[in-house]
Amino acid sequence: MEAKVANDWRLRGQRYRLEGERCGHCGAAIFPPRDICPECGKPAKTPAPLSGRGEVYTFSTVYNAPEGFEPYTPYTVALVKLEEGPVVTAQLTDVAPKDVQIGMPVEMVTRRLRTHGEEGTIVYGYKFRPRVGA
């Protein structure tokens, strides 16, 4: 697959730092950005950071990866329910598949998602891992 430089670039706020939106009408946290609040249906275009803290809602360890992700198998993907409410699809990292459990507290980190071959760009984005420290 060709490196989609502009596509990746457009998503840098979301991917690098999990930037969502906050609805000015009902206060809902929104991720990914939709510009229309999924809770109250009103316009919601104010960018807002999310804490990156959440817990595993469900997970799966992938043995057959799509093109571009094969170098990383086996890796675990999950739905992570963020403290603020939204659910995010993301990889888990720094954890062995056998140690993953539903309900496990996790935090967001920025990691390499993939590269576009040897010469193309390196794509970075959010993943989640078991919380470190306090």
Partner 1 sequence: MRDVAIIGIGQTPVDEHWTTGIRHLMLEAGLSALQDAAIETVDAVYVGNMLSGEIAGQSQLGALAVDFMGLGNTEAFKVEAACASGAAALRVGTMAVASGMANLVLALGVEKMTDTGGRETTAALAAAADAEYEAGQGISFVALNALLMQRYMYEYGWKHEDFANFAVTAHANGVNNPNAMFQSRISAEAYARAPMIATPVGLLDASPVCDGAAAVVLAPAEYARALSPAPVKIRASAVGMAPLAVHSRKDPLALEAARTSAHKAYQLANVKPEDLDFFELHDAFTIMAALSLEASGFAERGKGVQLALDGEITLQGRVPIATMGGLKARGHPVGATGIYQVVEAVLQLRGLAGANQLPNARLGMTQNIGGSGATIITHILEGMG
Partner 2 sequence: MTEARLMKPQRAVGIIGYGAYVPMYRLPGAEIARVWTGGGRGPVREKAVAGLDEDTITIAIEAARNAIARAEILPEALRAIWVGSESHPYAVKPSATLVAEALGATPYLLAGDFEFACKAGTEALQAAMGLVGSGMGDYALAIGADTAQGRPGDELEYTAASGGSAFIIGPAERAVAVCMGSLSYVTDTPDFWRRAYQHYPSHGGRFTGEPAYFHHIESAGRALMEELALTAQDFTYAIFHQPNVKFPGRVAERLGFTEAQIETGLLSGVIGNTYAGASLTGLSAVLDIAKPGDRILLVSFGSGAGSDAFAWELTERITACQDKAPHTADYIKRRVEIDYALYTRYRGKLRD
What span, in angstroms and rounded, lies between the C-alpha atoms of 39 and 62? 32
94-113 binders of partner 1 (CB under 8 A) = 97, 102, 113
Burial of 118 (0-12, 13-18, 19+ CB in 10 A): exposed
Q: Which of 36, 48, 53, 75 binds partner 1 (CB under 8 A)?
A: 75
User: Can you tell me which residue has the tokens 């817990």?
Assistant: 55
Residues that bind partner 2 (CB under 8 A): 12-13, 16-17, 19, 49, 71-72, 91, 93-94, 96, 109-113, 122, 124, 127, 132-134
Pick what 13 binds: partner 2, partner 1, none; C-beta below 5 to 8 Å, kind-dependent: partner 2
Nearest Cα residue to 92 out of 77, 114, 111, 110: 77
Q: By rule CB under 8 A, what string of x and - marks binding of each residue 23-42 to partner 1?
A: ---------x-----x----
